């Protein structure tokens, strides 16, 4: 039981991080039709800035957190601007451009970080409590709460504000939105900046538990992409849900149910679940496309 | 009589304008030439300890080449290249480490079979899910290989790894030079094979299936077979690359080198190369893999991620702005020679066929209409044994989209030699009826061809049986040329077929456009290209969906003459949807009028057009009762 609860908590924690990144990916995908692999690089940069401000400058946690998110948003906005410059490029090329950004940010992060692998301090402290014979860290609870809060706020922003209305208009028909006088560039940059900020936050939250490892962050972003795709790449709620589902499944199967089996077996479950999910989502979507035809 | 001649000449002028930018300058920095020079120079000039960088580069290029196929032809992005290469490397080393040529060959065979099998599983996934869903499906395969298969120590050889045979040579032609030679020969041979494949009909089929699956089905292609073929070839190439990587290193690299990160990077190599030609893939791979190893050799320390990011970015920009850079280069050389830059961009694509030779922009020999009645093209069938002969008939065809009844119990019959037109306002259900008769949408009712029930036949079987069609928006592969598009389709590539296609191209005035990529053509000409493709084998029934929309009056008249002449010779049935009253009255014997999914009237055209209801529905006239 304790093993299961522990695996569940780790899974939900991972899932919320995937979900947060997936949310940002869906936002940038919907406004530009580009798969944003830059999320990994921004996550690494956000975590590094946060670590630098807290550990090297001694800045308060909240200031460091806001600073790191702002830096993430800035880089995200820059990528959005680049995306506007590449408007006539094939989308696959722009996707590779976002990968370039990630690699360059990884290089920068690896350059400025101390040679030892580091873990930034948790914004939620080191405390925790026991539940069902399992220690639940305050960081895990805090991550879950903050992620949920951010995703809810972003959803409300897009659904109920003038900003969101214009963003949705661009999602549906960029050319039509432009004819209505909506300044596309501002909104595209804005949405990419929002995605960047989310990636920065995700980087801070995950690095506390997994250490600041750039390769791992790319892995996380690829999983987030999988979550976003499983959610249909159109719905924010489903993308977040897809990420959470993926992480939770991975946690439960990897750490709990199949964790005691020979090496490799624990990943088998995740592979099977992912395969079923992608075929379900993919074929369902094709069915809908067929109806539209 | 002279009108078509004038049209052909006028079209010839248009052709010259289209073809002119495609003509090549004599001065050209070809990526292939650069790759060959680099590879040969590397073989003769590189010191032994740097040859490893060269060998590793060409191996990475080979993985990129394997991934290029599904990306370019099928427009699918596989994220499992590294995992498959790694699996091949471990399987090859597992057997090879037991020593002897036999074990190495066995290892190679097992590796190729397993990796090709995995690639085919990816192909199966591509049949069910496409686009980003396929990306995730391939990611699932990658994760499966990486986390499950690579965690089997017996396979990977644990920390010590397994050794693979390397020739033990010394002197100038040492071990590394020999390995470099073997790797380069294999990679160039593979590149040549892929090049040939892409220039063959099979290659055109793959592109058509990837870019316009409905268009491919309408020509009788079995799309899933073509897709599996592409994934199979891709798997073989990646398998060879994996085995080569073990051979080059003397042992397979550690599992990390075949992880998801490398899959992303391998996928980036062909894309960053610009997807224009195969040799550029090798150039990017040389920069991506060879440069870091070379810099390390000279103790120049650049963070690997920085180097990778910059190389990818530069490759991306070079690939994207290749024409501009080429033009600048030509301009500089021309200035150095004291002249002006000769010519402009060269939108040549690896998949778009050979560049147009100079002087080919001249109009084709004009054809008099009288020839049409005297000379007919060879009658070519697609060789299907299931061919039925006779009328195409739809009985009580009903098509529903959810709660909407798009076609409601409509019956239609086109006998051999008969010409039937369908008219009606937008949304009347005409195209949906076409889709039902050709099997592109599920329908109720019965479809018959020559009395045989074809209701359960998929579109490609109906096409093979002779139900040929065009679409409202032409379903052509844009990156292929006119000539490559029209040869696509089921059936053998015979001399008669080539002759028939040449005849059709000539009579539609498109002979001079044969080597022009379809993407450069206006909409009306695309329609004609699609029509030629449909007629490239003799149909039983030809179904045309708005064939003259986008055509000039002159071109429409020519189309009527060619169609009527050919139909008179070959005797197939013709079913046409069209809004153009002049066209429909000039080509149809019988007319069907549809409104809101129902058949309002049908019969001989003169009679039908006199009916009040038809005049109301189709001509918009107010009928006084």
Per the domain annotation, does B530 fall within a domain?
Answer: yes
The CA distance from B178 to B167, in Å, is 7
Total count of residues recorded for chain A = 293
pLDDT at A279 over 90: no
- Determine the structural domain holding residue B110 and report its residue range: 46-273
- Of the pLDDT bands very low, low, confident and very high (cuts 50, 70, 90), residue B231 is very high
Q: What is the DSSP letter of A86?
A: T
In order of their start, the domains of chain A are 2-245 (1.10.3470)
Per the domain annotation, does B56 fall within a domain?
Answer: yes
The CA distance from A135 to A26, in Å, is 34
- B52 neighbors B293 (Cβ within 8 angstroms): yes
Within an 8 Å CB–CB cutoff, is residue A283 touching chain B? yes
* B432's tokens: 């949906």
The CA distance from B507 to B558, in Å, is 9
- Tell me which of A270-274, B110-114, B304-308, B311-315 is least confident: A270-274
* A170's tokens: 């661009």
Q: Do B407 and B263 belong to one domain? A: no
Bigger pLDDT: B451 vs A7: B451
Mean pLDDT of B336-340: 67
Within an 8 Å CB–CB cutoff, is residue A103 touching chain B? yes
Classify the C-alpha dihedral B259-B262-B268-B270 as positive or negative: negative
Q: Which residues of B touch A293 (CB under 8 A)?
A: 441
Total count of residues recorded for chain B = 625
Bigger pLDDT: B362 vs B186: B186
pLDDT (0 to 100) of residue B1: 34
Nearest CB to A96: which of B151, B152, B316? B316
pLDDT at A237 over 90: no
Q: Which of B264, B269, B273 to mutate to test the interface with A (most CBs of A within 10 A)?
A: B264
Residue that has been written with the tokens 């003769």 in this structure: B44
- Of the pLDDT bands very low, low, confident and very high (cuts 50, 70, 90), residue A30 is confident
pLDDT at A266 over 80: no
Adjacent-strand bridge partners of B616: none
Q: Compute CA distances B189 → A21, B181, B281, B341, B429, whole Å.
A: 43, 12, 15, 35, 52
Q: What is the dihedral of CA B17, B19, B20, B24, to 10 degrees?
A: 170
Q: Which residues of B touch A282 (CB under 8 A)?
A: 128-130, 133-134, 137
- B551 neighbors B527 (Cβ within 8 angstroms): yes
Adjacent-strand bridge partners of B576: B421, B544
Residue that has been written with the tokens 């999988």 in this structure: A226
Strands B392-401 and B404-414, bridge-based pairing: antiparallel
Task: Classify burial at B408, counting beta carbons within 10 Å of its beta carbon; exposed 0-12, middle 13-18, buried 19 or more.
Answer: middle
Q: Do B410 and B268 belong to one domain? A: no
Within an 8 Å CB–CB cutoff, is residue A14 touching chain B? no
- Helices B132-143 and B260-272: crossing angle in degrees, nearest 10, is 140
Give the count of domains, chain B.
2
The CA distance from B344 to B360, in Å, is 17
Q: Which of A99, A105, A115 to mutate to test the interface with B (most CBs of B within 10 A)?
A: A99
**Residues A95-116, buried b or exposed e (16+ Cβ, 10 A)?**
bbbbbbbbbbbbbbbbeebeee
| Boundary-marking domain end, from B253, B273, B293 | B273
* B485's tokens: 């598009």
pLDDT at B73 over 80: yes
Mean pLDDT of B277-296: 87
The CA distance from B356 to B28, in Å, is 15
Q: Is B446 helix (H, G, I), strand (E, B) or coil?
A: strand
- B394 neighbors B430 (Cβ within 8 angstroms): no
pLDDT at B354 over 80: no
Q: Which of A218, A229, A234, A249 to mutate to test the interface with B (most CBs of B within 10 A)?
A: A229
The CA distance from A263 to B154, in Å, is 12
pLDDT at B361 over 50: no
* B612's tokens: 């009040």
Nearest CB to A263: which of B129, B132, B151? B151
CB-based contact B309 A222, cutoff 8 Å: no
Nearest CB to A283: which of B129, B149, B441? B129
Within an 8 Å CB–CB cutoff, is residue A115 touching chain B? no
pLDDT (0 to 100) of residue B14: 46
- B461 neighbors B435 (Cβ within 8 angstroms): no
Q: Which residues of B touch A263 (CB under 8 A)?
A: 151-153
pTM above 0.90, yes or no: no
pLDDT at A73 over 50: yes
pLDDT (0 to 100) of residue A287: 39
- Of the pLDDT bands very low, low, confident and very high (cuts 50, 70, 90), residue A125 is confident
Within an 8 Å CB–CB cutoff, is residue A253 touching chain B? no
Q: Is B443 helix (H, G, I), strand (E, B) or coil?
A: coil
pLDDT (0 to 100) of residue A7: 77
Per the domain annotation, does B290 fall within a domain?
Answer: no
Q: Is B168 helix (H, G, I), strand (E, B) or coil?
A: coil
Q: Which of B64, B79, B147, B406 to mutate to test the interface with A (most CBs of A within 10 A)?
A: B147
pLDDT (0 to 100) of residue B559: 87
* B354's tokens: 């050979």
pLDDT (0 to 100) of residue B388: 44
DSSP H stretches of helix in B159-277: 175-199, 201-211, 213-218, 223-249, 260-272
pLDDT (0 to 100) of residue A158: 87
Per the domain annotation, does B209 fall within a domain?
Answer: yes
CB atoms within 10 A of CB B301: 8
- B473 neighbors B203 (Cβ within 8 angstroms): no
Sequential DSSP letters for A102-119: HHHHHHHHHHHS-SS---
Nearest CB to A222: which of B125, B260, B305? B260
pLDDT in tens, A220-234: 888 888 888 877 777
Q: What is the DSSP letter of A246?
A: H
* B133's tokens: 């869903």
Type and span of the H or E element at B112: helix B101-128
Within an 8 Å CB–CB cutoff, is residue A234 touching chain B? no
Max Cα-Cα span within chain A: 61
pLDDT at A180 over 80: yes
Within an 8 Å CB–CB cutoff, is residue A186 touching chain B? no
Per the domain annotation, does B509 fall within a domain?
Answer: yes
Nearest CB to A274: which of B140, B261, B401? B140
Type and span of the H or E element at B419: strand B419-424
The yes/no answer to whether this complex scores an ipTM above 0.90 is: no
- Calculate the CA A127 to chain-centre distance: 25
- A17 neighbors A9 (Cβ within 8 angstroms): no
Bigger pLDDT: B564 vs A266: B564
Adjacent-strand bridge partners of A62: none
pLDDT (0 to 100) of residue A71: 96
Per the domain annotation, does B366 fall within a domain?
Answer: no
pLDDT (0 to 100) of residue A254: 67
Q: What is the dihedral of CA A161, A162, A164, A170, to 10 degrees?
A: 170
pLDDT (0 to 100) of residue A91: 83
Q: Is B577 helix (H, G, I), strand (E, B) or coil?
A: strand
pLDDT (0 to 100) of residue A128: 79
- Calculate the CA B484 to chain-centre distance: 9
* B396's tokens: 């009580």
Residue that has been written with the tokens 């991972």 in this structure: A14
Within an 8 Å CB–CB cutoff, is residue A101 touching chain B? yes
Chain B nearest CA to A19, separation (Å): 16
The CA distance from A234 to A158, in Å, is 13
Bigger pLDDT: A120 vs B105: B105
pLDDT (0 to 100) of residue B530: 94
Nearest Cα residue in chain A from B320: A89
The CA distance from B246 to B285, in Å, is 17
Q: Which residues of A touch B305 (CB under 8 A)?
A: 103-104, 106-107, 110, 214
CB-based contact B151 A99, cutoff 8 Å: no
Bigger pLDDT: B358 vs A286: A286
Classify the C-alpha dihedral B363-B367-B372-B374 as positive or negative: negative
Residue that has been written with the tokens 């004009």 in this structure: B366
The CA distance from B232 to A25, in Å, is 32
CB-based contact B268 A226, cutoff 8 Å: no
Round to the nearest angstrom and report the end-to-end CA distance of chain A: 50
- HSE-up of residue B513 (Cα within 13 Å, Cβ side): 31
The CA distance from B180 to B496, in Å, is 46
CB-based contact B151 A267, cutoff 8 Å: yes
CB-based contact A282 B139, cutoff 8 Å: no
Nearest CB to B303: which of A111, A215, A229? A111
Q: What is the CATH number of the domain that holds B576?
A: 3.40.50.300
Instruction: Name B429's Cβ contacts closer than 8 Å, sequence gap at least 6.
Output: B399, B406, B407, B408, B410, B594, B596, B597, B598
CB atoms within 10 A of CB A63: 12
pLDDT at A53 over 90: yes
pLDDT at B413 over 90: yes
The CA distance from B526 to B519, in Å, is 9
Classify the C-alpha dihedral A130-A134-A137-A138 as positive or negative: negative
Bigger pLDDT: A273 vs B421: B421
pLDDT (0 to 100) of residue B183: 94
Per the domain annotation, does B576 fall within a domain?
Answer: yes
Q: What is the DSSP letter of B356?
A: P
CB-based contact B305 A291, cutoff 8 Å: no
Chain B nearest CA to A224, separation (Å): 11
pLDDT in tens, B188-205: 999 999 999 999 999 999
The CA distance from B602 to B414, in Å, is 12
Q: What is the mean pLDDT of chain B?
A: 83
Backbone angles phi, psi at A128, to 5 degrees: 170, -175
**Beta strand segments in B56-204, E:** none
Mean pLDDT of B507-519: 90
| Boundary-marking domain end, from B273, B292, B317 | B273
| Boundary-marking domain end, from B251, B273, B295 | B273
Nearest CB to B303: which of A110, A219, A279? A110
pLDDT (0 to 100) of residue B348: 40
Q: Do B592 and B460 belong to one domain? A: yes
Q: Which of A90, A106, A282, A288 to mutate to test the interface with B (most CBs of B within 10 A)?
A: A282
pLDDT (0 to 100) of residue B456: 93
Chain A nearest CA to B462, separation (Å): 20
Mean pLDDT of B45-52: 86
Per the domain annotation, does B201 fall within a domain?
Answer: yes
Mean pLDDT of A173-177: 87
- Calculate the CA B23 to chain-centre distance: 23
Q: Do B592 and B468 belong to one domain? A: yes
């Amino acid at each position: 039981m304790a093993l299961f609860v522990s695996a569940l908590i780790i899974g939900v924690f991972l899932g919320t991080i995937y979900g947060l990144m997936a949310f940002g990916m869906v936002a940038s995908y919907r406004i530009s039709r580009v798969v944003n692999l830059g999320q990994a690089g921004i996550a690494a940069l956000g975590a590094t800035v946060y670590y630098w401000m807290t550990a090297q400058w001694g800045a308060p946690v909240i200031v460091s957190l806001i600073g790191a998110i702002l830096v993430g948003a800035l880089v995200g906005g820059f990528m959005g601007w680049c995306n506007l410059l590449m408007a006539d490029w094939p989308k696959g090329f722009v996707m590779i451009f976002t990968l370039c950004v990630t690699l360059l940010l990884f290089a920068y992060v690896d350059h400025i970080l101390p040679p030892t692998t580091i873990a930034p301090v948790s914004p939620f402290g080191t405390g925790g409590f026991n539940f069902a014979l399992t220690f639940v860290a305050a960081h895990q609870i805090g991550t879950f709460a903050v992620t949920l809060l951010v995703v809810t706020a972003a959803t409300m922003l897009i659904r109920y504000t003038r900003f969101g209305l214009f963003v949705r208009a661009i999602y549906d028909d960029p050319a039509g939105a432009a004819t209505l006088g909506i300044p596309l560039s501002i909104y595209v940059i804005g949405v990419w900046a929002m995605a960047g900020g989310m990636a920065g936050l995700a980087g801070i939250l995950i690095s506390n538990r997994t250490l600041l490892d750039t390769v791992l962050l790319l892995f996380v972003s690829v999983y987030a992409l999988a979550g976003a795709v499983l959610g249909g790449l159109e719905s924010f709620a489903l993308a977040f849900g897809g990420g959470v589902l993926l992480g939770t499944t991975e946690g439960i199967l990897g750490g709990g149910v199949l964790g005691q089996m020979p090496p490799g077996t624990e990943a088998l479950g995740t592979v099977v679940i992912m395969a079923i999910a992608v075929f379900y989502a993919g074929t369902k979507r094709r069915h809908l496309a067929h109806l539209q035809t | 009589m002279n009108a078509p001649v004038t049209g052909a000449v006028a079209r010839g002028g248009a052709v010259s304008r289209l073809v002119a930018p495609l003509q090549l300058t004599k001065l050209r920095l070809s990526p292939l030439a650069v790759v060959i020079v680099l590879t040969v120079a590397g073989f003769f000039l590189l010191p032994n300890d740097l040859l490893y960088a060269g060998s590793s580069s060409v191996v990475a290029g080979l993985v990129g080449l394997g991934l290029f196929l599904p990306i370019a032809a099928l427009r699918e992005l596989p994220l499992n290249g590294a995992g498959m290469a790694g699996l091949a490397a471990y399987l090859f080393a597992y057997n090879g480490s037991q020593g002897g040529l036999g074990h190495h060959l066995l290892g190679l065979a097992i590796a190729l079979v397993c990796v090709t099998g995995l690639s085919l599983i990816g192909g199966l996934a591509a049949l069910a899910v496409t686009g980003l869903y396929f990306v995730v499906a391939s990611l699932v395969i990658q994760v499966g290989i990486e986390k499950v298969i690579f965690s089997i120590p017996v396979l990977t050889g644990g920390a010590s790894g397994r050794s693979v045979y390397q020739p033990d040579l010394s002197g100038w032609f040492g071990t590394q030079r020999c390995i470099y030679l073997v790797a380069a020969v294999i990679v160039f041979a593979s590149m040549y094979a892929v090049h040939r494949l892409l220039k063959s009909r099979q290659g055109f089929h793959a592109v058509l299936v990837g870019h316009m699956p409905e268009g491919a089905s309408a020509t009788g292609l079995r799309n899933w077979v073509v897709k599996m073929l592409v994934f199979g070839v891709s798997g073989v190439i990646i398998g060879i690359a994996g085995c080569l990587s073990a051979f080059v290193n003397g042992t397979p690299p550690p599992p990390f080198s075949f992880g998801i990160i490398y899959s992303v990077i391998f996928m980036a190599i062909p894309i960053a190369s610009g997807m224009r030609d195969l040799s550029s893939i090798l150039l990017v791979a040389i920069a991506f893999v060879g440069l870091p190893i070379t810099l390390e050799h000279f103790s120049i320390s650049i963070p690997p991620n920085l180097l990778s990011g910059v190389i990818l970015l530069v490759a991306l920009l070079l690939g994207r702005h290749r024409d501009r850079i080429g033009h600048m280069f030509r301009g500089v050389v021309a200035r150095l020679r004291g002249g002006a830059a000769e010519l402009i961009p060269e939108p040549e694509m690896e998949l778009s066929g050979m560049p147009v030779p100079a002087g080919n922009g001249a109009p084709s020999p004009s054809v008099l209409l009288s020839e049409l009645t005297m000379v007919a093209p060879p009658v070519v069938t697609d060789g299907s044994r299931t061919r039925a002969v006779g009328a195409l008939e739809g009985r009580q065809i009903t098509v529903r989209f959810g709660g909407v009844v798009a076609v409601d119990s409509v019956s239609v019959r086109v006998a051999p030699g008969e010409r039937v037109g369908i008219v009606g306002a937008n949304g009347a259900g005409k195209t949906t009826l076409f889709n039902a008769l050709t099997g592109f949408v599920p329908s109720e009712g019965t479809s018959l061809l020559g009395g045989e029930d074809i209701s359960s036949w998929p579109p490609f079987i109906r096409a093979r049986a002779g139900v040929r069609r065009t679409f409202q928006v032409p379903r052509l592969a844009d990156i292929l040329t006119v000539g490559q598009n029209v040869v696509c389709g089921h059936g053998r590539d015979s001399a008669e077929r080539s002759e028939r296609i040449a005849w059709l191209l000539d009579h539609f005035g498109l002979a001079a456009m044969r080597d022009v990529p379809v993407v450069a053509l206006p909409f009306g000409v695309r329609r004609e290209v699609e029509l030629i493709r449909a007629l490239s084998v003799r149909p039983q029934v030809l179904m045309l969906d708005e064939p003259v929309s986008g055509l000039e009056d002159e071109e429409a008249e020519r189309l009527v003459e060619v169609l009527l002449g050919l139909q008179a010779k070959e005797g197939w049935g013709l079913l046409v949807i069209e809004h153009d009253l002049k066209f429909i009255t000039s080509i149809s014997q019988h007319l069907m009028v549809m409104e809101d999914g129902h058949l309002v009237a049908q019969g001989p055209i003169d009679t039908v057009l006199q009916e009040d209801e038809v005049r109301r529905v189709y001509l918009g006239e107010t009928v006084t009762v």
